[in-house]
Structure 1
């Protein structure tokens, strides 16, 4: 089957809610073909209702058969893939207190947050090599700093940063691989206090466009010299020394 698509085709995992939804909306509004996959079917249908330009396909990123089906469908419909955003994750940073943390809870977070991005990237390799495309992994500032009882989440996000530069070395020069580490991003448009905003060096809490703009740079521009990097997008908070007064 021949294809004559001139737009970028971008796959976003965990694209139905939160930061993933904001990424999908932003990239779609920039005239890209955006495919969101998510395990939450209701949220996926709402995503498309809010923005009919976005494609939504239900999938579990830990299920290899689901992933194979998605990649086969992308190949059939579009014949190309220019960008992959590995965003899907168990987003709550707090695990069961360490002395009670069950190993199956730890393992589930590892499976979704760290193993799945590797699996999805593996499935996309042939399409991304053909397009000289880009992978952007979503890490977190939790890779750099922690609170109590965040062992599982923090370990996966630190792993994502390391996985990113390992993949960049393995897949270059055909495929660029970078990651973005968001700080506090108000993905649900909550009402925040002035102190919430003012504690940031930037003077405000982040929004999903702050993350999506960097992803657009890495996927949709000719930024061929940028690979293996971790972009911390946190309003400067990881550079601010904070002591209890």
Structure 2
């Protein structure tokens, strides 16, 4: 791969990491970039998981250090996400994903409408507000499985579903999304490594760029709060919808 192409992919990865740490949807940038660079689909997915793991690890650790994510409250979700991601990645090699791609724009658009017309989320009265544990299982299994099979938009889905299910503001919901995204990325990556579908040098270079972008994005999200994250998130959801509909409904790239 030419050095100029590698530099462009690293820049794309930096941008994706920054956006993904704030609102999710970074895979919408990196996967098409890898495919455009000439990587076969499965190799592109595996390499994307490698660099995405770098970025999600950085972003989730940043939220954790700022005490915006408590692993003890989310133990069930962490386990369920890991199981779902492993199953999804295993099935990704033979389970047709076309039907998911057809309905994905509808789901994403619904998420965008929810945030567009709902009131801005407010912080709970206490940072130790009770988090229901039972509903974490279906949420983690479903989103973990989706991330293992397909991937793009998982962070956005985690953010929206967490806002709907738990007493969280948008900043803390973003912390949950980044942490769960790291778990599903790492578990799915292990399957792609076993199957030999990872371009290591390219993935590491993009991963380092993603780490820098994710670090800056997470700090920006924390400082900016819900007022900053909300419009960025809505724009990402609508952009994701348009890109997916363009590709999967009309067969265009």
Q: TM-score, normalised by structure 2?
A: 0.27
Larger Cα Rg: Structure 1 or Structure 2? 1
More strand by share: 1
